[in-house]
Amino acid sequence: MVSKKIEDALNDQLNKEMFSSYLYLSMAAYFDNINLGGMSKWMKMQSEEEYLHAMKFYDFILRLGGKVKLAAMEAPQTKWKAPKDVFEDSLKHEQFISKSIHKLMDLAIEESHHPTKSFLQWFVDEQVEEEDNVQQIVENFNLIADDKSGLFMLDRELGARTAEVEQN
């Protein structure tokens, strides 16, 4: 059993995760267009991870006996001035998603809905990791500044990303 309020909030987060997937795919396309294949690969993997996040919400809503409602998605940003700006926007986006997860957790606590609290804890922890990962990349960009060989190296490093094992 789940209240309409929690069901709506879970669906809202499902849609936010789907948008995250779409946004990261748009970021990947930006990097492909400027021949930074490593950064594009990183973004594509991030996009896939976000899709899996959305599916966790999808499955959980159904397990609660609720209804999945997919909503219209806004078009993601497609242009950036420089590679570093993309990762800065990614960091801002993750901070926005963290806030949204925290608000959802507040609602689950308010409504004493223990299954949702337990389900969301994974996302609370995951957001700490997501923000930290992107923050580190932004710091790498700060270190290399305008150095083209540094950009090349960072592209290679980000292209070496491998899939993380999803839990839960």
Residues that bind ligand OFO (CB under 6 A): 17, 20, 50, 53, 94, 97, 130
What minimum distance in Å lies between the beta carbon of 130 and ligand OFO? 5
Q: How far is the CB of 93 from ligand OFO (least distance, A)?
A: 6
Q: How far is the CB of 29 from ligand OFO (least distance, A)?
A: 18
Kindly state the greatest CA–CA separation across the chain: 56
Cβ proximity to ligand OFO, 7 vs 130, nearer residue: 130
Cβ closest to ligand OFO, residue 41 vs residue 53: 53
68: left (phi over 0), alpha (psi -120 to 50) or beta: beta
The H-assigned helical ranges of 76-113 are 83-110
Query: Is the distance from CB of 83 to CB of 151 less than 8 angstroms?
Result: yes
